[in-house]
Amino acid sequence: MWESLGLLSFGAEGWGDELAHGLKITVLLAISTLPFGLALGLLVALAKNSNERSLVLAANIYTTIFRGLPELLTLFIVYYGGQIALQKLIGLFSDVYVEVNGFVAGMIALGLVFSAFSSETFLSAFRGIPKGQPEAGKALGLSSFQRFRLVVFPQLVRLALPGLSNLWLVLLKETSLVSIIALDDLIRKTHLAVGNTKEPLLFYSVACGIYLIIALISSKGLNAIELRVNRGQERT
Amino acid sequence: MALDNTIDQPGERPAAPPKTWSAARITGFVLCGLWAVLGLLLVWSLIRGYDAELLERYAPRMLGGLWLTAKMVVLSIMMGSALALPIALARISTSKIVSKLAFGYVYFFRGTPLLAQLFLTYYGAGQFRPFMEDIGLWWFFKDAFNCVMLAFTLNTAAYQGEILKGAIQSVPKGQREAALTLGLSGPVTFFKIILPQALITALRPLGNEVIFMIKGSAIASVVTILDLMGTTKLAYSRSYDFNVYVWAAILYLSMVETLRYFWDRMERYLTRHLRMPNEN
């Protein structure tokens, strides 16, 4: 039992450095998906919150699709479908062979899913802001962009943060799916290690432990952010 | 003196302001147009790509996969809910050890990817094959389907347990106190008073959990299970026809939306006593 722990060491013998590299990809993917998913989610929420019916309809179609599809299927559709579409597009001009980058495909697919869910969080946060707030801004002569930036947005962040924290933890776990399209994330590196060492229990337990540690660190960080955005609020 | 009644009469409702082509409206129309074009393109691609031979070969398999997906979801949700109640009770237990253990269980299954849990069960069990054979459990773990069901059940039990725990705690304290005053026993209080009210609160999150399970079950395809996702991957790898993914997407979406529709209906029916008569 204990001699197999040497397999986790860093260096030529152990798989520690490989796992660390996989962890880097996992964290990098989650972090680079986040701004994309947040921005898109906010736009979709703005559309859902508007008075214009067609805009609401378009946004609702978007969320229905990306909330209802399995993440794995979304990933495959983006990865293989993107490949086909890009090839056709480029084929119009030249005959270069292109390959869709797994990291980018993962980023897009996870970002689409993340934005569909975060738009719901943002929407309920929008509804939590009293109407009088933007109206008061209007009375003060703020432009509509200023009203959003100075009055609505700071309150939106505070109200949406708990929901977004949850979505971040979900996103961290969902990055594991990219291992299926052969991107070298933590799970795939673990898989490779298992293939070589025949120690599945050890390596998958370690991978699970690493995921738990990132989740723990994330929740600590998110709690700190939550304290900060709530600093103007009364303590209950 | 003649009273002027007209002043209290509500006047004509002012006509709605004419709809102008505001930026929002233009964007909305463009986006709806884009969805329509995309939808038509998909339909066109499905019609143009219609291949009787392909359909004959893979449609029955994919429908079989759909059936397997439904079976996996129903079984894991049901077995998970059987485990969820003890977990929820352990979570709110006054015994420190019991509640810590339950917390650890829930934290593990909610904090790690389902994929990792699946690999842990599937490949981890294989490592102990001789031992399993000795204690006569190998027949269970040698079947990938059983490993998947085990991982899914343990996973959804953790999520459902957490939902139930929150719902039980949301039942007002006065309910329990009133039951105590009436001299009802502990189990009667729990099963006849606390649990029914908790289940109504839990209904919506439980519906979401079922939807997550439908979507999550797609990863069973990674360990050779031929569910809807598995059969779709197989069909694509043999035919290189992208339409199979479109079909799979349509099937998954209809599954999820049908469930959402019926779950809403059920919720409305079960909460009918909580609505005001004039609410619909």
Write the CB contacts of B114 (distance below 8 Å, at least 6 apart in sequence). Answer: A173, B151, B152, B155, B216, B219
Task: Tell me, rounded to whole angstroms, the distance of Cα B167 from its chain centroid.
Answer: 17
Closest Cβ–Cβ partner in A65, A67, A211 for B113: A211
Amino acid at A200: P
The answer to whether residues A73 and B228 touch, using CB atoms and an 8 Å cutoff, is no
What pLDDT was estimated at residue B239?
86
SS (H, E, C) A66-77: HHHCCHHHHHHH
What pLDDT was estimated at residue B49?
79
Q: How far apart are CA B3 and CA A69, in angstroms?
A: 66
A179 inside domain: yes
> In this complex, how many residue pairs, one in chain A and one in chain B, have their CB atoms less than 8 Å apart?
138
* pLDDT score of A184 more than 60: yes
Which of A150, A141, A126, A137 minimizes the C-alpha distance to A56? A126
> Average per-residue pLDDT in chain B?
90
**Contact yes or no for B124 and A58 at CB 8 A:** no
A205 inside domain: yes
Helix-helix angle A102-128:A153-174, to 10 degrees: 140
**Contact yes or no for B111 and A77 at CB 8 A:** no
Range of the domain at A188: 2-229
Closest Cβ–Cβ partner in B22, B119, B257 for A204: B119
A122 inside domain: yes
Which of B32, B257, B204 minimizes the C-alpha distance to A50? B32
Gyration radius from chain A CA atoms:
22
Closest Cβ–Cβ partner in B123, B252, B257 for A70: B252
**Contact yes or no for A198 and B119 at CB 8 A:** no
Q: How far apart are CA A18 and CA A183, in angstroms?
A: 13
* Complex ipTM tops 0.90: no
**Contact yes or no for A81 and B113 at CB 8 A:** no
Homologous superfamily assigned to B58-274: MetI-like (1.10.3720.10)
A67 inside domain: yes
* pLDDT score of A10 more than 80: no
The answer to whether residues A208 and B155 touch, using CB atoms and an 8 Å cutoff, is no
**3-class secondary structure, B260:** helix
Smallest CA–CA separation between B4 and chain A, in Å? 37
Identify the closest residue of chain B to A60 by CA–CA distance.
Answer: B32
Q: How far apart are CA A200 and CA B140, in angstroms?
A: 18
Q: How far apart are CA B123 and CA A204, in angstroms?
A: 9
Q: What is the pLDDT of residues A133-166, one digit of tens each?
A: 999 999 999 998 999 999 999 899 999 999 999 9
A235 inside domain: no
A234 inside domain: no
Q: How far apart are CA A94 and CA B258, in angstroms?
A: 45
Q: How far apart are CA B191 and CA A205, in angstroms?
A: 38
Write the CB contacts of B277 (distance below 8 Å, at least 6 apart in sequence). Answer: none
Is A183 exposed, middle or buried (CB count within 10 Å of its CB: 0-12, 13-18, 19+)? buried
**Contact yes or no for B112 and A173 at CB 8 A:** yes
Q: Which residue's entry shows tokens 């060492």? A: A197
What are the tokens at B185?
Answer: 């026993």
The answer to whether residues A151 and A215 touch, using CB atoms and an 8 Å cutoff, is no
Identify the closest residue of chain A to B251 by CA–CA distance.
Answer: A69
The answer to whether residues B122 and B144 touch, using CB atoms and an 8 Å cutoff, is yes
> Average per-residue pLDDT in chain A?
90
Going by the DSSP 8-state scheme, the letter that residue B186 receives in this structure is H
Q: How many domains does chain A have?
A: 1
A64 inside domain: yes
* pLDDT score of A45 more than 90: yes
**Contact yes or no for A198 and B116 at CB 8 A:** no
Q: How far apart are CA A211 and CA A189, in angstroms?
A: 14
- Determine how many CB atoms are found less than 10 A away from the CB of residue B262: 11
Identify the closest residue of chain B to A189 by CA–CA distance.
Answer: B116
The mean pLDDT value for B116-126 works out to 90
A201 inside domain: yes
Amino acid at B6: T
Q: Give residue B2's pLDDT band: very low, low, confident or very high (50, 70, 90).
A: low
CATH of the domain at A181: 1.10.3720.10
Give the residue ranges of DSSP H helices in chain A.
16-49, 53-68, 71-76, 82-91, 102-128, 132-139, 144-146, 153-174, 186-197, 200-229
* pLDDT score of B1 more than 60: no
Which of B268, B128, B146 minimizes the C-alpha distance to B207? B268
Q: Give residue B10's pLDDT band: very low, low, confident or very high (50, 70, 90).
A: low
Q: Give residue B52's pLDDT band: very low, low, confident or very high (50, 70, 90).
A: confident
- The pLDDT > 70 percentage for chain A reads 95
Smallest CA–CA separation between A201 and chain B, in Å? 5
Domain boundaries, chain B: 58-274
Q: Which residue's entry shows tokens 């949700």? A: B77
